Amino acid sequence: MLRLFKELNIWYERLVMLILGLFLLIILWCFYDSWYVYSHVTDDSVMRYKPGVSDTTKEAPALSEDMAGWLTIDDTGIDYPVMHYKDNIKYLNTDPFGRYSLGGSIFLDYRNDPCFTDDYSLIYGHHMEYGRMFGALDNYLDEAYMREHSGGTLFIRKDGEKSKHIKIFAALQTSADEKTVFNPGEGDIRRYIRSHAAVQISEPDGAIVGLSTCTGRDDDTRTVVFARIIKT
């Protein structure tokens, strides 16, 4: 009986050690996963490809041919290439170099013209910590912030052969199923903005660009910021 008790005690200790080992592995994986995501979204090497910046080298990895342009919002961390593909799935977890990345890329809705000729174009980006990617969009639900950070530039095509100034004018939160917002070309987007905007500081007098991201609260709600393309 004593021998059986000792054997059971040994197996119990082994089981406890196994469980503790599994917990340790899970914790280490969580740390690694967080580091991996953060290191990718904070990788500024892509900035050498921003139109007007001639800092590319032969050793630098090439940006994907899917690049439709570059979006910069002044005095914020939003300064990224805009990708465009035949669906809205690829660049959820693919970086601008075509590599797998949990942080993904900023990308234009597949139904939009990559030359931004549509009356309403929609751009998506993940809501990342420290304002990375589209993590800063929540700030635009504050009117004072919007007025102080409304300017930006949209470079067209990979070489930035054209550039358009944009002006942010409204922000709202809505369901990811809202067709007027998330099906470009369906519905009257201007009327929807007037009716549902949490903040609106002006009326658009040209084409509109929407910037969409998750709220971080749930899977269904989106924060969407709208900018007008300034006619030149």
122 and 169 in a single domain? The answer is yes
pLDDT tens profile 50-67: 887 655 554 556 888 999
Contact criterion met (CB below 8 Å) for 101 and 94: yes
pLDDT score of 35: 45
Model confidence at 21, pLDDT cuts 50, 70, 90, reads low
Model confidence at 6, pLDDT cuts 50, 70, 90, reads low
- Tokens 């549509």 belong to residue: 118
- On the question of pLDDT at 208 being above 80, the answer is yes
- On the question of pLDDT at 141 being above 90, the answer is yes
74 and 171 in a single domain? The answer is yes
9 and 71 in a single domain? The answer is no
What domain count does the chain have?
2
184 and 85 in a single domain? The answer is yes
Supply the CATH number for residue 98's domain.
Answer: 2.40.260.10
pLDDT tens profile 112-135: 999 999 999 999 999 987 778 999
130 and 19 in a single domain? The answer is no
The CA distance from 133 to 140, in Å, is: 15
176 and 128 in a single domain? The answer is yes
Angle value at C-alpha 53, between 149 and 101, nearest 5 degrees = 75
Question: What is this structure's pTM?
Answer: 0.80
Domain enclosing residue 190, as ranges: 47-54+62-229
Per-residue CA distances from 86 to 40, 83, 109, 190 (Å): 24, 11, 9, 26
10 and 89 in a single domain? The answer is no
12 and 66 in a single domain? The answer is no
